[in-house]
Structure 1
């Protein structure tokens, strides 16, 4: 049975410092079994993930705390990045033993070890985690004129009506080819920079912008050329310049695990004048791909033959993407980008990611490297290997899918304590810099629209039904109320709040392509958009919301309350996700507070603030500590 009074890895009474530690740090452990249980010795047993070495360290009996004996020891963390998996063996004077792990006292069965992340402390740019990110699917954001796709790679066509629904039904061959375009462009984004600045955006993350046969552009055809329907390299440079004048940086999507079958490198249909790997074994790109046998059978991402997988360990490919003086990574940083997001980071070797990081630091020292990782990035196993994403020389931060999943579950009737547990597990495992650099979001191009998820009663079974689906007025109202709460949590939680284009305008839609419609210019929900802008302003105005320490205040049932504290500044987020009012007495050993959302003031009585929270409502309490 678990007894947190014996050992709790998240309590500084038991382990200090909290969470992950830099290489070579001293970590103090206290284990406090009941004295009556007769333990005379306590041994910390730890296994090093990467070296396989086992460490055993004796904790010495230091004192008796009431009815408990306290064993204490200091472990010096390894001098190189590592994951330590540890538990305790307690021994009585008669030689009998007991094991203590995360599940409690363990008699038999598999040991459930605690995790200690040991990382190399390196510089992390602060502008990402401290900012506000806005994700744009370039074809669907803003069109200034109707483009002509004639002569471009892929059999493309353009919707004349910006408000059309994206094509979702298979063609006569049973394929969904994503060849319908709407004509959003880089110059369209540039034209809306003032709107984005007014929304509080400081970082733009663009889905792929390089030449490609498909509207999503994840099947890259040419890494060194902007897709002509989006514009030119000079258009990109201008976008970056004018964005930086408004305090906005640019992050590009790097799709380096696979190319498109119609790319100039593979050239399956012979569109490009050069010789691609699918055309000749003498192609300069032949070794980039793995054929078995050539030319019709080859490795492809998830078996999708239009996405031939690249061999990242091929020296020529590494030179092209990373090492060369005008490599893809370096070229676009010099053109004005401030960072890269690595698509399907799980498919990229650790040393490939590390080389990208090195090239970025050499080219643009303040650039940021983000990875697409869907789980805890410190415990991720891909291709039977534990990944080293956040241990010091690879990613600065990752996309925080666990945040979205846990937040939706909570807002749709779950327990706030489950949300706390999910995020606290990440906080314990991630280096502090990485935790503050998480990309937190409510939705992306790979997920259904957040308003639909929060408002719908269930998911329609067929794709045709999902295509036709719209929230009822009642569902939409409930969804909007929940979305306002989701945004409140998003903008006040550690990490970079990220808005998928149109979520702030109340766009609806299930999965791809229904989540990728054109932005509803002049049809936005202006109240919701103003709410997002106000939250972004608070985040910019209060450093505690950018880098403050996280305190969990109350997490039970529908009530979620947490605070951020920095340099005497305290911001407390209070959320009631229930469909009914909730009354509580909020512990408040601090000066009077003001709700930033309404201006209402609260004076504590006997170190508590009595609150009655209406259904689906929230507060953002601000006070300065003495």
Structure 2
């Protein structure tokens, strides 16, 4: 194992954090004995200028988790290395910092190197991957502990009282002209205009009736895609923001759902489009009707009333909003009576907003108000609510300020996991690129996990969503191809920093080749049959049947009982282990088919092994070279991965795809 100095932004390396301007943080760097140094220096940037301070080695008695060090610490060993400590005052809301390591050099150890969030680099590099001390008000404390369950309302569950016709198709009192009623067991279309018109009849009372299932997965936050009336079933083309779609049960049903969630100690997150509305929106209709109206200033008309900017300038049903309009900002973003404020207040009391295409909001041509919109949103939202940005590529430039708490981390989580675990020869599109999903080796994946996320402030990464799939992508199972690799993917979801977010249906191994095709109705009878057949302790069936051979009823949506069991176990493990929710992270070992990492926390570390395939021989890791770990206790294993510990020597064996988690004890 490479023995290299380490620092991250977790509580082991930052045992005392700064929460306001003027407060001091305590920063620690682990330097193994195999990497000789004569000095460790902090370099920060304050008011645009470099500040430096020398770090001091900690006595063994104070390492590695004491809150404060003596004034004059003396060198001492802690396991197989030394902790060095320094203090940094938060003189700006965001203070970039890095460490310089100086030593005699020789062999593989340079005489001079920088330690940044991207790792140890023996040459001068730009500041983009510096660690950051951030004292902007953080996301609410509950977010770091959350497990989110994403619900596409029309496809999740029909309530017992939902009206249907004799053939089982939804039969609401007022069926929209765009709607094509569908039986619950019919497969959704793969692509085309029909995808937004297929109405299956799921509603918000149906979500209430299935909260036991959601809670069984360890999830404590329900994220609903839009609930406002619209011209399609996906509802990103809202016709108003002032009421809930009657097809979903109206305002009263959303209040009932919120009350049911809060009574269980769970939370509700809603979805809002701030970049555009639908072309049937009451604001847009008023804007088209009168060029002198206030609403006409909400949109970007190039020739009134029929020529205007739209989403991607290619979808005229989604006219783009112009956030230069003070009236628009007042109506949509600012204050408790705005769209943003209203749904976070009683009687709904939603706990946060996910903002659709946040990366495009307020941006067009030479106008860039995206950060201003984010700050305004956050200023309107009450304390204790979460503000999340949808962003499909590099979101890091939008995350260092006092706007979005986090993003949907497609680039720093979804894409690398897909590329590592993808079915060989996959023909699926790789999240919008003109290519199919590649199958990349472990070192390439590790570089993305480290390098990209190094550009993201730690609070933003901790409060961003990690998702293996969503309503906009192919399904996880279709991407990875097998049950075993899907379980590895769920293990990564449980293991890596960020908020695990599960798209409804992934827990049963549902398949889908496009985002639209992935919006498959949940097969509740089949899920109930699997649950009824499962042993009470969650173990494999005793009748000799293969795990996962659950019923395949209700059309095209079979239930993989083994994936369901593993999802419950792995996300339950996440909820129990502080290191998996709030700990720092370091990569211990990387091979083509194997990733080994540690999540570190003063309450106990967790070693995580992820294997996408078998390995011909064991891997031996001397963990003293990183943190001085002296013992390991197995806490969970999935699939074909196991190991044993002898002192600080961990031997890992992988007979196929799988994952293992061990709790580590420190000297």
TM-score (norm 2): 0.71
2:221 counterpart residue number: 203
Which of 257-266 and 519-528 deviates more? Answer: 519-528
Residue ranges of structure 1 left out of the alignment (5+ in a row): 31-41, 63-72, 89-97, 268-275, 381-386, 456-478
Q: How many residues align?
A: 536
Question: What is the Cα deviation at residue 103 of structure 1?
Answer: 8.2
User: Following the alignment from structure 1 to structure 2, what is the Cα–Cα distance between the partners of residues 352 and 345?
Assistant: 9
1:370 counterpart residue number: 388
Which of 115-124 and 129-138 deviates more? Answer: 115-124
Q: Tell me, what secondary structure is at the counterpart of 1:615?
A: strand
1:265 counterpart residue number: 283
| Pair 313,58 (structure 1): closer, same or farther in 2 beyond 3 Å | same
1:315 counterpart residue number: 326
Question: What is the Cα deviation at residue 320 of structure 1?
Answer: 1.5
2:655 counterpart residue number: 614
Counterpart selection for 1:590 from 611, 630, 648: 630
Q: Tell me, what secondary structure is at the counterpart of 1:452?
A: helix
Residue 162 in structure 1 maps to residue 184 in structure 2: yes
Counterpart selection for 2:375 from 347, 354, 358: 354
User: Following the alignment from structure 1 to structure 2, what is the Cα–Cα distance between the partners of residues 537 and 179?
Assistant: 37
Residue ranges of structure 2 left out of the alignment (5+ in a row): 30-40, 57-85, 102-111, 165-169, 362-369, 423-438, 527-557, 624-628
> Does 1 or 2 have the higher relative contact order (CA < 8 Å, sep 6+)?
2
1:121 counterpart residue number: 136
| Pair 612,150 (structure 1): closer, same or farther in 2 beyond 3 Å | same
Which of 582-591 and 21-30 deviates more? Answer: 21-30
Counterpart selection for 2:406 from 355, 378, 397: 397
Question: What is the Cα deviation at residue 152 of structure 1?
Answer: 5.5
Residue 137 in structure 1 maps to residue 152 in structure 2: yes
8 Å CA contact 2:359, 2:395 repeated in 1: no
User: Following the alignment from structure 1 to structure 2, what is the Cα–Cα distance between the partners of residues 263 and 305?
Assistant: 13
Counterpart selection for 2:205 from 171, 180, 187: 187
| Pair 306,621 (structure 1): closer, same or farther in 2 beyond 3 Å | same
8 Å CA contact 2:42, 2:98 repeated in 1: no
Residue 411 in structure 1 maps to residue 407 in structure 2: no
8 Å CA contact 1:259, 1:307 repeated in 2: yes
User: Following the alignment from structure 1 to structure 2, what is the Cα–Cα distance between the partners of residues 85 and 294?
Assistant: 53
1:69 counterpart residue number: none
Question: What is the Cα deviation at residue 536 of structure 1?
Answer: 1.8
Question: What is the Cα deviation at residue 430 of structure 1?
Answer: 3.1
User: Following the alignment from structure 2 to structure 1, what is the Cα–Cα distance between the partners of residues 25 and 568?
Assistant: 43
1:70 counterpart residue number: none
User: Following the alignment from structure 2 to structure 1, what is the Cα–Cα distance between the partners of residues 130 and 258?
Assistant: 41
User: Following the alignment from structure 1 to structure 2, what is the Cα–Cα distance between the partners of residues 199 and 45?
Assistant: 42
**Residues 428-465 of structure 1: CA deviation (Å, up to 9, x unaligned):** 3333322221211100111111111111xxxxxxxxxx
Question: What is the Cα deviation at residue 317 of structure 1?
Answer: 1.5
2:508 counterpart residue number: 505
Counterpart selection for 2:353 from 340, 345, 370: 340
2:288 counterpart residue number: 278
2:366 counterpart residue number: none
8 Å CA contact 2:131, 2:457 repeated in 1: no
| Pair 59,480 (structure 1): closer, same or farther in 2 beyond 3 Å | same
| Pair 141,10 (structure 1): closer, same or farther in 2 beyond 3 Å | same
User: Following the alignment from structure 1 to structure 2, what is the Cα–Cα distance between the partners of residues 77 and 199?
Assistant: 39
| Pair 575,82 (structure 1): closer, same or farther in 2 beyond 3 Å | closer
**Residues 478-515 of structure 1: CA deviation (Å, up to 9, x unaligned):** x2110100101111222111111101111111113111
Question: What is the Cα deviation at residue 221 of structure 1?
Answer: 0.7
| Pair 282,74 (structure 1): closer, same or farther in 2 beyond 3 Å | same
8 Å CA contact 1:568, 1:624 repeated in 2: no
| Pair 56,516 (structure 1): closer, same or farther in 2 beyond 3 Å | same
User: Following the alignment from structure 2 to structure 1, what is the Cα–Cα distance between the partners of residues 123 and 604?
Assistant: 41
| Pair 623,355 (structure 1): closer, same or farther in 2 beyond 3 Å | same
TM-score (norm 1): 0.76
Counterpart selection for 1:306 from 303, 307, 317: 317
Q: Tell me, what secondary structure is at the counterpart of 2:304?
A: coil
User: Following the alignment from structure 1 to structure 2, what is the Cα–Cα distance between the partners of residues 247 and 609?
Assistant: 39
User: Following the alignment from structure 2 to structure 1, what is the Cα–Cα distance between the partners of residues 201 and 174?
Assistant: 15
User: Following the alignment from structure 1 to structure 2, what is the Cα–Cα distance between the partners of residues 404 and 342?
Assistant: 19
| Pair 104,297 (structure 1): closer, same or farther in 2 beyond 3 Å | farther
User: Following the alignment from structure 1 to structure 2, what is the Cα–Cα distance between the partners of residues 538 and 213?
Assistant: 41
2:253 counterpart residue number: 235
Question: What is the Cα deviation at residue 248 of structure 1?
Answer: 1.6
Q: Tell me, what secondary structure is at the counterpart of 1:243?
A: helix
Once superposed, what is the RMSD of the aligned Cα atoms? 3.9
